[in-house]
Chain A
Amino acid sequence: MNLTLKIWRQKGPQDKGAMVEYKVNDISEHMSFLEMMDVLNEQLVNSGDEPVAFDHDCREGICGMCSLYINGEAHGPDRGITTCQLHMRMFNDGDTIYIEPWRAAAFPVIKDLVVDRMAFERIQQAGGFVSVNTSGNTQDANALPISKHAADEAMDAAACIGCGACVASCKNSSAMLFVGAKVSQYALLPQGKVEAADRVMNMVHQMDLEGFGNCTNTGACEIECPKGIKLTNIARMNREFLKASIKG
């Protein structure tokens, strides 16, 4: 198929940036979206132009590196996938495709379609962990009884790959689905309960410091999340926060 691409080009963080139009021809419907981007970049390199910078790593939907706001949706028009899992069969011959970086004040553009997502790392460092002794005498995890329901819910929350689609999709650039998932995956398990109060307070505090917006429960994040993280995680974070605030 032959496509028209309108891509955000920005030389660096200080550059103003603009949408630039490109044409790509003979794109196979079996290609992934990133492979189509590779074709474009090869075309640009061969013609002596600067290739489009975009994030990618594992290309199998696990690492959370690929981003891209495609035709007005995070990770494109398909559901439950990352951009590397988006196939060109989702588009038609002759289509015009808009490709933009995540937009949020807390995710500044580094170059073209690459944004700085270190804000998520700093939120994780504020409390998204369990303090355990890893000196070699850790006890068997099965020694602690955990209900199947809690284990399943914790696992579902832990599926978050931190790609930032939730922030990109949110009209308020809120990171509450991400933080809610990280808070939940530990709060549901006995190993995480010990530090649950400090964790939620510190992570929410860091989230606010990073300048993310406030959730207004539109649910866009849940729909666009490639890993199906549920809004129940935001509700759980709110509960954990209230509980920790009351306890002091």
Chain B
Amino acid sequence: MSGILSSSIAKKVAMALSALFLIIFLLIHLSVNLVSIFSEDAFNTASHFMGINPLIQFGMQPILIFGVVFHFVMGFVLELKNKKAVGVSSYAKNNGAANSSWMSRNMAISGFAILAFIVLHFIDFWIPEINHKYIAVLPEDPTRYFHELQHKFVNPLRVGAYVIAFVLLALHLLHGFQSAFQSMGMNNKYTKYVKRCGKAYAIVIPLGFIFIALFHYITQLS
């Protein structure tokens, strides 16, 4: 069994499964964030529910962190293996654009950029949250979440970083979505629908996050 798990195909499938998990998570994340556009109270209620619910805090959250870390570590391991397979000599002239998309050839670059963004995102939201609840043990305020969110989108540099990160996420997803299905062995008459769905997802989801960041930035101007 260990031989099977260490095989190249098993690694591809593991990469694909973690990608699909993160794709589902992004959809949920966007849905909750969109609430902040429509109602401060509803956003606070949703955030407070997630913040105190033990199933989410001690069940879903560790699984999510594991999923993110696993996807990056596995991607890094595969990238190193692939570099080794290419060898030390490289082509004097290589016309990659003739046969493949930029996104597909540069998943590692977009992936690392997204990782850098996640670190920033953790510093912005997750670490202060952990500090609030478990380190400083501050009194719980169910109305604090919306203002904390708004506060992060005052600085135009941070908003710019978020926008760039989501453009890179879009590029990553444009290849990654349908690639995950191919890796799991799904390439059949439904593939054209998977590709269309992947393109729509890769554009709509990052655009949604960009919209939220810009919305909170613009509404706080003046």
Contacts and interface: CB of A to CB of B under 8 A. Distances in A.
Interface of A: 6, 8, 17, 19, 69, 71-73, 77, 98, 100, 103-106, 109, 169, 171-174, 176, 201, 204-205, 207-208, 211-220, 223-224, 231-232, 234-242, 245
A8 B89 CA distance: 11
B11 A214 contact: yes
B81 A213 contact: yes
Interface string B86-124: 110111111110111100110100000000000000000
Given A19-B92, A73-B98, A103 B87 contact: yes
Nearest to B84: A105
A242 B91 contact: no
A204 B9 contact: yes
Given A231-B182, A238-B12, 16 more contacts: A69-B94, A98-B92, A100-B92, A103-B86, A103-B91, A104-B86, A105-B85, A172-B86, A204-B9, A214-B81, A218-B101, A223-B100, A232-B187, A235-B186, A237-B9, A241-B185
B105 A171 contact: yes
Contact of B85 (A73, A172, A236): A172
A8 B90 CA distance: 11
11 contacts: A77-B98, A100-B92, A211-B84, A212-B85, A213-B81, A217-B175, A224-B99, A232-B187, A238-B182, A242-B185, A245-B10
B96 to A, nearest CB: 7
Interface in B147-197: 175, 178-179, 182-188
A103 B8 contact: no
A176 B13 CA distance: 14
Contact of B13 (A17, A217, A242): A242
Interface in B28-52: none
A219 B7 CA distance: 21
A173 B82 contact: yes
A234 B9 CA distance: 10
Nearest to A105: B87
Contacts of A238: 9, 12-13, 182-185
Given A216-B104, A238-B13, A238-B185, A223 B92 contact: no
Contacts of B105: 171, 218
A234 B181 CA distance: 12
A109 B88 CA distance: 12
B78 interface: yes
A174 B85 CA distance: 8
Nearest to A224: B99
Nearest to B176: A217
A223 B130 CA distance: 50
A241 B93 contact: no
B185 A235 contact: yes
Contacts of A218: 99-101, 104-105, 175
Given A211-B85, A235-B185, A220 B100 contact: yes
* Most B CB within 10 A of own CB, among A205, A215, A238, A239: A238
A241 B7 contact: yes
Contact of A8 (B9, B92, B98): B92
A171 B179 contact: no
Contacts of A215: 8, 12, 183
Contacts of B10: 241, 245
B72 to A, nearest CB: 15
Nearest to A168: B91
Contact of B7 (A8, A103, A171, A205): A205
Contacts of B101: 218
A1 B186 CA distance: 48
A17 B91 CA distance: 12
A236 B87 contact: no
Given A213-B86, A215-B12, A73 B99 contact: yes
A172 B82 contact: yes
Given A72-B98, A105-B86, A207 B8 contact: yes
A116 B92 CA distance: 20
Contacts of B7: 204-205, 208, 241
